[in-house]
Amino acid sequence: MSSHAAAAHEVAPGDPPHIHHMDSATAYGAAKLGMWLFLATEILLFAVMFCSFAIMRYYHLDAFHKASHNLNLYAGAFNTAVLLFSSYTAAVAVTKAQRGDNRGVVVNFGISILCGFIFLLVKGYEYSEKAHHGMFPFVWNESFGDYKNFLGIYYCMTGLHALHVIIGMVVMYIYGVRPALKNRYSGRYYTPVELSALYWHLVDLIWIYLFPLLYLVG
Amino acid sequence: MAHAHSHDHSHGHDDGHVVPEATFLKILIALLVLTVITVLAAKVDMGKWNIVGAMVIASIKASLVILVFMHGKYENRILWTYILIPFILLAILIGGVFTDDPFRSHPKPVEVQKLKAT
- Domains detected in chain A: 24-217 (1.20.120.80)
Q: How many CA atoms lie within 13 A of A73 on its CB side?
A: 15
Contacts of B67 (CB under 8 A, 6+ apart): B73
A191-218 pLDDT tens trace:
999 999 999 999 999 999 999 999 998 6
Same-domain status, B64 and B84: no
pLDDT of residue A116: 97
Asked if A39 contacts B85 with a C-beta cutoff of 8 angstroms, the reply is no
Q: How confident is the model at residue B103 (pLDDT cuts 50, 70, 90)?
A: low
Angle at A198 between CA A160 and CA B19, to 5 degrees: 150
Looking at the structure of chain B, the number of domains it has is 2
Buried b (16+ CB within 10 A) or exposed e, A36-72: beebbebbeebbebbbebbebbeebeebbeebbeebe
Residue B46 is part of which domain span?
A: 19-74
**Residue B46 covered by a domain:** yes
Residues B91 and B51 in one domain: no
B2 lies in some domain? no
Chain A CB within 8 Å of residue B102 CB: yes
pLDDT score of B102? 61
- B39's CB contacts (< 8 A; 6+ apart) are A73, A77, A216
Give the lowest-confidence range in A16-25, A67-76, B30-39, B57-66: A16-25
Contact across the interface for A212 and B83, Cβ inside 8 Å? no
Q: Are residues B67 and B52 in the same domain?
A: yes
Beta partners for A189?
A186
Q: Name which residue leads in pLDDT, A78 or A70.
A: A78
DSSP type of residue A135: -
Same domain, yes or no: B23 and B70: yes
Mean pLDDT of B28-34: 97
Categorize the per-residue pLDDT at A16 as very low, low, confident or very high, splitting at 50, 70 and 90.
confident
| 3 state SS of A101 | coil
Classify residue B117: in a domain, yes or no.
yes
Question: B13 in a domain, yes or no?
Answer: no
Q: What is the pTM of this model?
A: 0.87
B6 vs A141, residue with greater confidence: A141
- Please report the pLDDT score of residue B88 as a whole number: 93
Distance from CA of residue B2 to its chain's centroid?
A: 39
Residues A119, A121, A123, A127, Cα dihedral to 10°: 180
Same domain, B91 and B113: yes
pLDDT > 60? residue B97? yes
CA atoms within 13 A on the CB side of B112: 7
Count of A-B CB contacts under 8 Å: 148
Residue A1 has pLDDT above 50, yes or no: no
- Cβ within 8 Å of residue B112, ≥6 positions away: none
Q: Do A28 and B16 touch (CB under 8 A)?
A: yes
Q: In this predicted structure, which of A54-63, A70-79, A162-171 has the lowest mean pLDDT?
A: A54-63
> Same structural domain for residues B66 and B94?
no
Say if residue B15's pLDDT is above 70. no
Q: Which of A88, A205, A217 sits opposite B50 (nearest CB)?
A: A217
Classify residue B11: in a domain, yes or no. Answer: no
Q: Is residue B12 part of a domain?
A: no
Across residues B66-88, what is the average pLDDT?
Answer: 92
Considering only CB atoms, B58 lies closest to which of A25, A55, A209, namely A209
